[in-house]
Structure 1
């Protein structure tokens, strides 16, 4: 059995919109790296076109397909943690000077580089949008964000505190606190192979092995995302229930809000998209 062609887009952030539209316009399904696009306007445009043409499109937030996250979701849904009231997550790396993170024209900045991962976590846990967003941080000379701390506030006193940095190696862990205990996603929290459960037990998640070297920690986990794309297309779906179109739009709106609060502005923010 053969499947329709799927284009995987892993280019510079500034090219995600144009390349996604190019492949969709030629009838190809699309899996586009995070951030989906530079802003919410571009993200809505891509999704609307895919929907109108019955094509699959998904933002490649590979975290959502991690076995550890699947278990976490079950624990939350069955009440194992009680009411989740607080989330903390850190993601800090030392970004080399020649990396696109520093370059505004490439859609750089901490938010669109590593910040997507911390923002998606409370979205994944609470499955709703915050009522208030507060951001403090600093910028590179190029005008994109170097670091930020984001506080997301939700109904019922729930809160997430998220730290992002591109010039400092951080814990890169995340902890979800409930009224019955907490769970820690060990480094790298965005695709962990080790989780400390509420009773202190360590859960280990074996990933695929390879004789070839990987560029990033736990890169074998990308296979789960690829399998989900194949599953959805085979089932005739145009979006994944684990990373829906609406979630990508909501994530893009949050990214826009954070950038605006820090004063990070792209030329794409001034344009309109069909």
Structure 2
């Protein structure tokens, strides 16, 4: 296995999480470069996390032919432009969720990557975790019978964080927290949704702060999803079946999985596989895909990225949540 040179675009908190994972993958992934619009911040980050190169602009990173994979760790509103810059320079890209601000941007970005034969995938880490496969195996085994109801909530008080309340940065609960609830439902109940009922409470800035979502599936199953950036913390999921239920702690990075029968007796509590911090699994998936010459990851193919982006677009449209840049006359940026 060739050790790949990985670079990070952005130096915020999520970039630090990725840097820790890259450092833990020494021998497989090289902490090669980091870019910020502030050279000083990039230098500080590189020193702390042992990256070899620093760039004082995103363009400089994208132009470096030694970079094998770029992780986009900037705010949602910047993902499209930052990822497009990398794709146009032929750089393989792992884009932090949400992939883009809306489905139009996602579709355009995927088109460009396919035309340029450039690897591109979304870093929704839950889809890459081995713990996801544990839940899938339990459902396939039939330990809880026929699943009929799913519930998920991810609520964390984050309204004080600027990017969360700023519509210009694609703020709000949905793209940051609610996406994990949508992903939980998508992974275990699929995407054949017959009807949606939802509501959102908005902040004065116009972004969604509390979201309640009901999915009614074509096969009769139902999902209740809730997210909030003003209450919490709550971070859990549950799948109920005719013979019991599966509970999951931490939707984003499963901390515990428990199986109960209908009487509430604990049947099983599978061990969660060890990890550096969970981010390493999406990186290793990218390494495997790049070595195989693929342009997407099997764990999160482009079709699924578009599906979730379209779901979020429909929800925001129903709530009247529109980002300022979506009203501009720019191709691929308007809400659909």
Would you say same fold, with TM above 0.5? yes
Distance 1:97 1:171, change over 3 A: closer
Question: Does the Cα contact within 8 Å between 2:156 and 2:234 map onto a contact in 1?
Answer: no
1:39 aligned residue (102, 106, 110) = 102
Match of 2:91 among 1, 24, 28: 28
**What is the 5 A alignment of 1:192-271?**
192-198=254-260, 200=266, 201-208=268-275, 220-270=277-327, 271=330
Contact 1:73 1:125 in 2 (8 A): yes
Which residue pairs with 1:135 in the alignment?
A: 198
Match of 1:148?
211
1:179 deviates by 2.2
Return the offset for 1:98: 3.4
- 1:71 shift after superposition: 1.0
Q: 1:7 aligns with which of 70, 81, 88?
A: 70
How much does 1:76 deviate?
2.2
- Please give the alpha-carbon distance, in whole angstroms, between the structure 1 residues aligned to 2:238 and 2:227: 15
Question: How far 1:266 moved relative to its partner?
Answer: 1.6
Q: Distance in 2 between matches of 1:53 and 1:145?
A: 36
Query: Who wins on radius of gyration, i.e. which is larger?
Result: 2
Structure 2 portions without partners, runs of 5+: 5-66
Q: State the shift of 1:17 in Å.
A: 0.2
Q: Within 2, Cα distance between the matches of 1:88 and 1:98?
A: 27
Segment drifting more, 30-39 vs 48-57: 48-57
CA separation in 2, counterparts of 1:34 and 1:262?
21
Provide the rounded CA distance (Å) in 1 between the counterparts of 2:298 and 2:109: 18
Whose RCO is larger (CA < 8 A, sep 6+)? 1
TM-aligned CA deviation for residue 82 of structure 1: 2.9
Equivalent in the alignment of 1:191:
253
TM-score (norm 2): 0.74
Show structure 1 runs of 5+ residues with no match. Answer: 210-219
Runs of 4+ in 1 over 4 A off after TM superposition: none
Q: TM-score, length-normalised on structure 1?
A: 0.91
Matched, 1:118 2:197: no
* Residue 276 (structure 2) pairs with residue 176 (structure 1): no
